[in-house]
Structure 1
C-alpha cells in the first residue's frame, strides 16, 4: 500500500473546508497573512492576493470591542489560543458575524505561526437578533434551527427548550423543563462553573462561549458548543432569562482530532527526516524513529533489534521499565537472526495482533510479552540489518493510520540506514587506502617496517588519553598514515643510505614534510588537522625542528601529539646505526626531551597511558 502524501492531504483539507482559515505571521507591529483558503475569500469578499501579505486587522469592523482586541493581543503575547465571537468587515464594507479561533503552531526550525479560523455565524446571529424584534418568527426559528435553544431562570432551572433537544440530546422539550445543567459530562464541570454563569447574570460579559461535553440520553458522549447571554423574558417584561444556544460539534471535534493526529504524524515524519540528516550512526537513526513514533501509536514500547552475526542484540529501548527490557533480552537470547527473517519473509513491515497464532509457517502462540507487535525490517540493498519492533502486552486494535505511519517510517529509516552503511563502508575504504599509502613507504624503506601500524596504535592510545573525540581521532590516524608521504620524492641514495648523511643530503630529507604537504593538500577529503601532521610532525618544542622552526604551542596540537609517538617508536625500533631502546629506556629519554623537544604535558599523558595495567579479558 502506498503511503499517503500527508502534506498534500493537509493542503487539500485546508482548501476544501467550509471554515475560513488564515495562517498568520504575527510579528510585533507588522502582522501579515501568509495563507488564505477559498472559504476565506468567499466569506470576506477579498480575493487571495488582496489577503495574503496584508495586515489581518483590515478585517476588523468598528463593532469589535476594545476588550476583544486587548484579549487577542494579550493571548498572542502569552502564546495562548483564543476564541471569541465578533463582527468582521468584508471588502464591500458590509459586516459578518464569525466565531474566531486563534491558535499558535510551532514548526521547527521556521518558528511560530498562528492559525485563524472564522466560522460564519451570520445566520445564527441574525436568528438571535430576530428573537428580540420579530415575535411572529420567534417560535418558528427556534423549532427549525439546527441548534438547541434553552432558557434558564435565575435559579438555574430550564424553563424552555426548543424542538432540537430531542434530536440532539434524546430528551423531549417538556422533559428538559426543570432540568439544571444535569447533562454536563462529569469531567467537564470545571469548564462551566457556577461562577462563570454568575458573571453573565451580573452583566460582566455580554455572552460566554464554551465548548464542552454532554451525555446523551443513550449514554453516549457529545461535544457541543454553547453561547450564553442574558435576555429579557419574552412574556414577562422586567424578568430576565439565560439564553443558551447549543450546537452539536462532535463531528467537528472528531475531524479536528484526526487533523491533529495527521499533523502530528506529518510533523514527526518531518522531524525524523531532519534528525536523520544529523545522525552519524545507523543506530541513531533507529533510536530517533522509535522516540518520535511511539507516542503516536497504540503500542506500549519500542526497541531496535540489531543482527550481530546470527545473534540478536537489543538496542534503543523506549517506553517501558528495565524489567520489561530484561524480559525482552531473554526472549531475544533464545532466538536468532534466522527466526526474525523467517517471520518477516521479506522487507515489508509485519503487524501481528493478539489473535494471530501463526505467521506463515511460524508458530507464535503463548506470547505473553508480545501479544500485539509490529516488526519493521531495516534493510539496504535487499539485506536486512535489523528490525524496529513496537509492542503491546494487551489486546489492542492497531489503526490503519498507525500502520501507514510505521510503514512510512520504515521506508525512511531503511533509506537513511542504507546511506549511513554506505558512508561507513566508504570511511573504512578511505581508512584502508590511507593505511596502504603508509605501508607502501615501508616497502621502500625496510628500516621502518611495521612503523605505520605501531604509530597508529600508539596515536589511538594517546588520543584517547587526552580525550579526543571520534572525528579528531580519525584525523589523527590519517595524519599518522600519511606523515612520511613526502619521502616518496626522496632519492633512494639519500633515503636508503646506510651511513651518516652529509649536510646536503640532510637538507633533502628535511624537505619531506613540505613535499608531503604539497602532495596531500589538494585532496578535498583530507581535514586541515591531518595536513598539520604531515607538514609539522618534525617541529620541536624549542623551535629546533623543521620545516618552519615553530615552537611551543604554535605547533599544531595533533602534530605535537604525533611527535611524541613518532619519537617513542623511533627509540624502540632497531636501526643499522643503533639498537632498539627498551620501553623503560625510551620513557626515560622522553622525559629528558619533555620541555625541550617535546610537549611536556603530552609526554606526561603518554607515559601514563603506556604504564596503565592492561584490563583482564
Structure 2
C-alpha cells in the first residue's frame, strides 16, 4: 500500500469516524472500523482500544482487530502499569520499536511481541479514559508514515471516546436509579428480599443465551427493574391480601400493568423495549394472559423472557402463603406450561441456562 493510498484511506476513515461520533450507539461498534483501518495503515498485527472501567478498576478491552496470539493474554490494562502511567502524562502517542528496550513497555515483552504504538485518550479534564494500542510482531521499526497516521485520528478518537464515555456514564446512572426504584418496589410489594436482583440476573443470562443485542439486554434489565411499577397505585388491602383475591380485587390488580406503563412512560430515557417488559410480562403464549390477550410472537421477546424468569423466581422463593419450591420442581412446572403459558423456545433456553448453572 502506497502512502497516497494510506492518506486516501484515512481521509475516508476520518469522515466515517466523524459520522460515527454523531451516531454510534456504543463505543465498541464505533471503534471497530478505525481499528481495522489502522492495522493496514500502520503495519500492525493487532489493534485494541481499552476504556477505563470504574467498576473493575481496570482499562478493559472494548474493541479489537487482528489476530492476537495465545501468548498475548492482554484483555485489560491495570492502572498501575508503567505504560499506563506514561500515558497519563503524555499528550502524544508513544512509538516503541522495541518493547524490551523501552522502560514503559518492558512488562509487555511477551514472546513474539516486538513493537508497540500506545496512544492516550484523555477527557476534557485531562483524565486518561482510554488507550489505543497497536502491536507488531516483526522486529523492524514502525513504517515511516505510521506516526502521522495515528496522530491524524487520535484526536477524533478522543472526542468520540469522551462523548460515548459520558453517555455510558449517564446510562450507568440511569441503571443505578432504576435498580434502586426496583428495590423500593420490591420492599413495598413485600417480595422476597433479593427478588429484583435475582430475576434481573436470570433474565440477563437468558437474554444472552437467546443472543439479544446489547441494547435489548439493557432494555430487558431496565424493564425488569420496573416490571411492577404499577403496583405503586394498588391499595394495601389488595397488595397485602393474605388470602385469595375477590373478582373485584383481581380486576383491580390487573390494572396495575397499564398504570405501570403510564408511569414508566414518564421516564424519557426509557427505551420502548423496556416498556414492552412492563406492558406484556403477564401475557401468555396461548393468548389467555392480560392486559391485551395477545399471544405467540405478538408478545415482545423481552417480555416472554422476563415472564419465565419472574415465575421461576416466584416459585423458588418463600412467600407468606407458600414455601419455596426446589429449582427442579419450578423448572418442571415451567416446562409443563411450555406452549400454553410460555414460549417453548424461551423455556428450552431457560433449561439450558439452569443446567449450566448446576453443572
TM-score by length of 2: 0.79
What pairs with 1:114-513 in structure 2 (closer than 5 Å)?
A: 262-276=7-21, 279-297=24-42, 299-301=43-45, 303-304=47-48, 306=50, 309=57, 316=64, 318=66, 326=71, 329=72, 337-344=80-87, 346-350=89-93, 352=95, 374-380=117-123, 381-384=125-128, 385-389=130-134, 393-394=139-140, 398=144, 402-513=146-257
Secondary structure of 2:120's counterpart equals strand
**Structure 1 position 281, deviation (Å):** 4.4
SS of match in other structure, 2:269: coil
The alignment yields a C-alpha RMSD, in angstroms, of 3.9
Q: Deviations over 1:139-173 (max 9, x none)?
A: xxxxxxxxxxxxxxxxxxxxxxxxxxxxxxxxxxx
Structure-2 separation of matches of 1:333 and 1:590: 40
Unaligned runs of 5+ in 1: 1-256
Distance (whole Å) between structure 2 residues aligned to residue 563 and residue 334 of structure 1:
39
Of structures 1 and 2, the one with the larger relative CO (CA 8 A, separation 6+) is 2
1:198 maps to none
* Cα separation, partners in 2 of 1:431 and 1:280, compared to 1, 3 Å: same
Distance 1:496 1:335 in 2: 50
Higher share in strand: 1
Output the CA distance in 1 between the equivalents of 2:349 and 2:331. 12
Q: Are the structure 2 counterparts of residues 563 and 408 from structure 1 closer, same or farther at C-alpha, using a change threshold of 3 Å?
A: same
CA distance in structure 1 between the aligned counterparts of 2:335 and 2:13, rounded to whole angstroms:
57
Structure (1 or 2) with the greater helix fraction: 2
Q: Is the 8 A contact 1:349 1:375 kept in 2?
A: no
Deviation at 1:466, TM superposition (A): 2.6
Separation in structure 2 between the aligned mates of residue 606 and residue 459 of structure 1, nearest angstrom: 9
Q: Distance in 2 between matches of 1:449 and 1:571?
A: 14
Instruction: Output the CA distance in 1 between the equivalents of 2:104 and 2:294.
Output: 70
Contact 1:272–1:292 (CA under 8 A) maintained in structure 2: no
CA distance in 2, matches of 1:473, 1:291: 27
Moved more, 284-293 or 568-577: 284-293
Structure ID, larger Rg: 1
Q: Which TM-score applies when normalising by structure 1?
A: 0.49
Q: 1:567 to 1:344 in 2, by over 3 A?
A: closer
Answer yes or no: is 1:544 the counterpart of 2:288: yes
Residues 405 and 594 of structure 1: is their aligned pair in 2 closer, same or farther, counting only changes over 3 Å? closer
- Alpha carbons of 1:553 and 1:266: their partners in 2 closer, same or farther (altered >3 Å)? closer
1:279 is displaced (CA, Å) by 4.6
What's the secondary structure of 1:378's corresponding residue? strand
Q: What CA deviation, in whole Å up to 9, does each residue of 1:98-133 have, x standing for no partner?
A: xxxxxxxxxxxxxxxxxxxxxxxxxxxxxxxxxxxx
Tell me if structure 1 keeps the 8 A contact 2:283–2:292: yes
Match of 2:299 in 1: 555
Counterparts in 2 of 1:492 and 1:269: CA distance versus 1, 3 Å: same
Q: Once structures 1 and 2 are overlaid, which stretch shifts more, 464-473 or 308-317?
A: 308-317
Q: Is the 8 A contact 2:116 2:134 kept in 1?
A: yes
Distance 1:555 1:331 in 2: 42
C-alpha distance in 1, partners of 2:47/2:229? 47
Distance 1:463 1:363, change over 3 A: closer
Structure 2 distance, partners of 1:341, 1:279, is 27
Classify 1:261/1:331 alpha carbon distance in 2 versus 1 (closer, same or farther; 3 Å). Answer: closer
Aligned residue in 2 for 1:517: 261
Cα distance in 1 between the residues matched to 2:140 and 2:27: 31
Query: Which runs of 5 or more residues in structure 2 are unaligned?
Result: none
Deviation at 1:416, TM superposition (A): 1.1
Contact 1:486 1:516 survives alignment (8 Å): yes
Residues 234 and 256, structure 2, Cα contact 8 Å, conserved in 1: yes
Aligned equivalents of 2:60, 2:302: Cα separation in 1: 39
Q: 1:339 to 1:262 in 2, by over 3 A?
A: same
- 1:414 deviates by 1.4
Q: In structure 2, what is the Cα distance between the partners aligned to 1:477 and 1:613?
A: 20
Cα 1:506–1:284 change in 2 (3 A) is closer
Partner SS for 1:446: coil
How far is 1:525 from its partner?
2.5
How far apart are 1:370 and its partner, in Å?
Answer: 8.1
What are the residue-to-residue correspondences of 1:43-122 with 2, within 5 Å? none
> Compared with structure 1, are the counterparts of its residues 393 and 288 closer, same or farther at alpha carbon in structure 2 (3 Å cutoff)?
farther
